[in-house]
A and B are shown apart, each in its own frame.
Chain A
Amino acid sequence: MSTRGLQQLATQTRFDFVLLWRNPLASFFTVVLPLIFLFVLTALFGNDLVTPAGPKLASRFVPGIIALSVVQASFVNLAIVTVFRRETSILKRVRGTPIRPWVFMGGLVATAYAVIALMAVLMALIGWAVYDVDLVWKTVPSLIVTLIIGGAVFCALGLAFTNLVPNETTGPPFLNLVVLPLYFVSDVYVPATDDTPQAITLIGDIFPIRHLAVALQGSFDPLSDKSIWPVTNWLVMVAWGVAGVLIVTRWFRWTPRG
């Protein structure tokens, strides 16, 4: 990438981050809501040992809520912001300037990664400090790979999803309608156990959110050795991401639909 492209990306990221931070609704849903969920889940279900040998129940909640943060910061926020920019003709105006489309969009993607990094560190620290969650150092590389793949995949899907949203007012309810039910079948709030109906896990397995959550849970389980490199989960996510990219290249709109 050219130096100029990098400078443009840095400026765009700086202001996209400022915009997220100053927008009360956006910052609530990407930063505050996941924190509330973590506190509510541990208050509801307690924090006993999962098995006599450990780990604590919160070590299942923390990765689930990190997965939720990834989806909120990339898929949900990116789609809402992009639909808003499309419908208020900001995208059209930007298209009339010499900035490269991917540099402009890169600002939102980089912002999503910044929030993901912040939330992952915050959740892990709260888990460790408040709920006795073990930090498993040997799985950190795998955790980072999962977050990188997750961020990219859900950003691509967020952009692809904008094609289905007719206008800026229907953006937030539309997005929530998609993600809220999926969180329930995707091990985000409550991890699947042997008692979970098979239909639920099957539905969850089709969509990418469960694969993100399961991959992250492996990274917080000190006893797990098989999930250190959750390649299958990564591949399913990547397949969804590729589909998202194809949809974006073919159908993405820069001009208002309304």
Chain B
Amino acid sequence: MRSPAIEVTGLHKSYGANKAVAGVDLHVDEGEILAFLGPNGAGKTTTVEILEGFRSRTAGDVSVLGQDPASAGLDWRERIGIVLQESQPEEYLTVAETVIMWAAYFPAPRPVAEVLELVGLAGHRDQRVGRLSGGQRRRLDLALALVGNPELLFLDEPTTGFDPTARREAWAMIDGLRDLGVTVLLTTHYMDEAQNLADRISVIAAGQIIARGTAADLAEAASLQTRISWNAQEVPLDELPDQLRAAATVFDVAGQPGDSRTSTAEGPTRLAILTDEVTDTVAALLQVAGRLGGKVESLEVQTPTLEDTYLALIGEADRAGGLNR
């Protein structure tokens, strides 16, 4: 069995009457990538900064790589890497000089050329940091976090401000850390990022963990159903069997609830059914389409995305009054 890289139980942090973190439990296995999600002000950064040793805690047990960050020494810092949400390396040094300077902080650093290769900056080694693009600077941030050869990496919103190509490249790079055996605690606002990279996800809201598990576990917890939709022109509402008709919702072109006509001046009306019985529903629909002698070219089957799940979970916590502090 793998030992935990991070083990947190009952973590509390209060600022006067304000409870920023109110009983967080967190468990990250060695070599695992855990995505830590939550809205702004939910206690995400506070929790991560306690784990990084930057903040003290009010109560709770925290163990990071077997030590308490509040009292851990420099030997513990040799084993972690940190990419902050916002930081700006010295702009008058070159990329290679910056990495060489940071490598000197660690007792057994990774070779500079290897680190630059790893983050895709090998071709920019002699470029001044001030002349790098936003995405390249973020790669340099990651290079500085990796140069110490860390066992555990804290990545706080590592791809904010990236264009889609740069984001995909960064994902490939972070995914590559798995092969190096690095444990990663990833904080992000991008659900596709969490879905693509994370082994498991923890969602925090109002200082408490409201959901944890794989993306599929979370979808189940949020009890979201698959959405089956098609154009009403192909299979009109009236033609559906009673059971399906009762379950179907009518939408206009803009995706708003609309009237039951098959089309309007703006375009075809769409019909949608939310269900857990995907195969049966699609089969019934195809049967109707066959009877009508046509096809259902416009058929779409959408399983819930992590973003849908996340919004549902946060919405649920909000309705329960948890977010209205």
Contact = CB atoms under 8 A, between A and B. Distances in A.
Interface of A: 4, 7-8, 11-12, 15, 18-19, 22-23, 88-90, 92-100, 255
Contact of B100 (A11, A88, A94): A11
B148 interface: yes
B90 A90 contact: yes
Given A88-B88, A90-B88, A96 B82 contact: yes
A21 to B, nearest CB: 8
B247 interface: no
B59 to A, nearest CB: 22
Given A7-B104, A93-B82, A99-B105, A22 B92 contact: yes
A18 B92 contact: yes
Contacts of A22: 92-93
User: Which of B77, B104, B148: most chain A Cβ within 10 A?
Assistant: B104
Contact of A93 (B75, B87, B104): B87
A97 B52 CA distance: 10
Contact of B97 (A18, A92, A95, A255): A18
A20 B107 CA distance: 27
A30 to B, nearest CB: 14
Interface string B81-96: 0101011111011000
Nearest to B154: A96
B100 to A, nearest CB: 7
Interface in B281-298: none
A23 to B, nearest CB: 5
A94 B102 CA distance: 9
B89 A90 contact: yes
Nearest to A85: B90
B103 to A, nearest CB: 9
Contacts of B90: 15, 19, 90
A107 to B, nearest CB: 9
B320 interface: no
B92 A97 contact: no
A80 to B, nearest CB: 13
Given A22-B92, A94-B105, A255 B54 contact: yes
Contacts of A15: 90, 93, 97, 100-101
Nearest to A88: B88
Interface residues of B, number: 27
Interface string B149-174: 00000000000000000000000000
B84 A97 contact: no
A97 to B, nearest CB: 4
Contacts of B87: 88-90, 92-93
B29 interface: no
Nearest to B74: A98
A92 B84 CA distance: 9
B37 interface: no
A23 B93 CA distance: 10
User: Which of B87, B100, B107: most chain A Cβ within 10 A?
Assistant: B87
A98 B106 contact: yes
B176 to A, nearest CB: 22
A61 B52 CA distance: 52
Given A11-B104, A96-B52, A98-B75, A18 B93 contact: yes
B105 A97 contact: yes
21 contacts: A4-B107, A7-B104, A11-B100, A11-B101, A15-B93, A15-B97, A15-B101, A18-B97, A19-B90, A23-B92, A88-B87, A90-B88, A90-B89, A90-B90, A96-B52, A97-B77, A97-B105, A98-B74, A98-B107, A99-B104, A99-B105
A258 B259 CA distance: 53
Contacts of A97: 77, 102, 105-106, 148
A48 to B, nearest CB: 43
